[in-house]
Amino acid sequence: MQIINELDTEALHQEYLDTGYVIIRNLLSEEVAEAAYESLRNKVPWEFHYRAMKSGGRVGIIDSKYYAGLNDKDIQELVPKMATLQDNDFSFAYCRYTIPTRLEEALPDARILTEIYRYFNTPEYLGLMAEITGDDSGREVSTWASRYDRHHHLSVHMDESPGQGRIAAHVLGLSKDWKKEWEGCFAFCNSKGKPVHKVPPQFNTLVMFKVPRLHLVTQVKPYAADSRYSLFGWYKTKQEYFLKNQESSAPEP
């Protein structure tokens, strides 16, 4: 099965050099993208992850069964305030699914997510990342699934994590028919933490950018009629999540 479409890595590398990021549309083959979307929308259990300001970095996690039973008011009460750069803090609220790295551990109806994750860590794909970024020291593309519902957000931050050796952030959007007015946009920020370039959720579109860089996900509006789906992670020098114990805690976004 063909996982991704052919890439013009030479042109993408030049774009990455010029701007520090690339936006790659139609990364996955059509069959794979559709299967991944179906899995994210209907087949996987989602945990709710949140971190409030002044929490000492503590991340709250609500299991999928409990979260599925909450109404909109309950969810809104759980969502912390969105931190700004002036707050010198970091907050977020979104749903996460940990993708198994081994095919035998994958959910039968969501096996495609593991197949994508495994492909992202093949020498072929790591080689493509090296060609685009110009950095061949990457040994892993860590990958989790995210879902942003109404009120969810990710406050401004840099993605720095010296212990992991993050070279570039790697976020594959898998939302369909998203309306711009629903927000939930990926956004690059200026030195004051204000969004200056918004990228609305788009189906089968990869945003990859050099770390560190200020960015955020704008808060999804309360009238949004759908959820924002993506696969996110980092092209990094340290191999620590792929084919390791799935009980290992994931890093902050």
**Number of compact structural domains in the chain:** 1
What confidence tens digit (pLDDT) does each residue in 83-134 have?
999 999 999 999 999 999 999 999 999 999 999 999 999 999 999 999 999 9
So what's the pLDDT on residue 104? 95
So what's the pLDDT on residue 246? 46
Does 3 reside within a domain? no
Does 100 reside within a domain? yes
Alpha carbon separation from 227 to 111, 133, 169, 235 (Å, rounded): 21, 30, 21, 25
Does 162 reside within a domain? yes
Does 4 reside within a domain? no
Q: Which domain holds residue 70?
A: 9-236
What confidence tens digit (pLDDT) does each residue in 188-225 have?
999 999 999 999 999 999 999 999 999 999 999 999 99
So what's the pLDDT on residue 245? 44
Does 102 reside within a domain? yes
Does 221 reside within a domain? yes
CA distance 42 to 38: 6
| DSSP letter string, 134-168 | S-TT--EE--EEEEE-TT-EEEEE----TTTTEEE
So what's the pLDDT on residue 248? 46
- What is the pTM assigned to this prediction? 0.94
CATH of the domain at 221: 2.60.120.620
Does 108 reside within a domain? yes
